[in-house]
């Protein structure tokens, strides 16, 4: 039996020394690489039909009703304004009790206030015709706040113009009916009946148009305030 087998401690050579002795790197336990999972593929967007916005919304019913009333009032104001302009422009009367060399004649263009009155009513009638397409657009599209504001400003201008013209014409018509004793102005309606009837009727029609314009201004202001 050899000395190593006789009880002497055996010399243990580690594994890494053996590997180093043979020129190889030590083998260590390398943990396995983590499993690579495929990247999450984003789900394809689901094709949805575009949401249709209704042309007529319930929230716009009140605004549409106001716009419809505005359209009707513009048609209603056109008649009195045009009638006042035509009646004033045709107010011409000549007394037949005098000869052809001495005649008394009453015409609207002899009174500057009546000329202004006739022009103002003609402008108001023309404006009402031009504003009808805009008013119809507001009936179809109540969301057009800018268009409402534009019509409101123009209506206020027409109210001021027509009210001033109607007031001036009313003063002349009152003077023609009553005269002025202090100034020795005799009433001429005792002789010129046709002239006074036409001018008086045109003044009444013009004030009716002014009243309708005031309603238009109120409706326009309410509609713009709601928006």
Q: Which pair of tokens denotes residue 176?
A: 């023609």
Average pLDDT in the 173-189 region? Answer: 84
44-78 confidence digits (pLDDT tens): 555 555 554 444 455 566 778 888 999 999 999 99
78-90 confidence digits (pLDDT tens): 999 999 999 999 8
pLDDT attached to residue 2: 42
pTM of the entire predicted model: 0.69
* Letter string b/e over residues 116-129, b meaning 16 or more CB atoms within 10 A of that residue's CB: ebbebbbbbbebbe
E strands, the chain, in order: 92-94, 105-107
Cα separation, 80 vs 204, in Å, equals 9
Residue 137 gets the label, from left (phi > 0), alpha (psi -120 to 50) or beta, of alpha
pLDDT attached to residue 211: 96
pLDDT attached to residue 116: 95
């Amino acid at each position: 039996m050899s000395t190593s087998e006789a009880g002497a401690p055996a010399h243990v050579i580690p594994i890494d020394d053996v590997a180093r002795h043979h020129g190889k790197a030590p083998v260590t336990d390398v943990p396995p690489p983590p499993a690579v999972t495929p990247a999450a593929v984003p789900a394809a967007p689901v094709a949805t039909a575009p949401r249709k916005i209704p042309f007529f919304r319930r929230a716009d019913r009140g605004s549409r009703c106001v716009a419809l009333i505005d359209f009707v009032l513009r048609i209603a104001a056109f008649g009195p304004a045009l009638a006042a302009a035509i009646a004033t422009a045709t107010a011409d009367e000549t007394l037949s009790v005098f000869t052809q060399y001495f005649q008394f004649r009453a015409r609207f263009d002899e009174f500057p206030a009546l000329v202004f009155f006739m022009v103002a009513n003609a402008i108001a009638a023309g404006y009402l015709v031009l504003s009808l397409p805009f008013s119809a657009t507001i009936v179809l599209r109540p969301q057009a706040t800018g268009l409402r504001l534009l019509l409101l400003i123009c209506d206020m201008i027409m109210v001021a113009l027509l009210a001033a013209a109607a007031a001036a014409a009313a003063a002349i018509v009152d003077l023609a009916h009553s005269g002025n004793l202090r100034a020795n102005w005799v009433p001429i309606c005792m002789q010129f009946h046709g002239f006074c009837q036409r001018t008086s009727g045109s003044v009444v029609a013009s004030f009716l148009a002014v009243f309708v314009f005031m309603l238009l201004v109120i409706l326009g202001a309410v509609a713009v305030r709601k928006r």
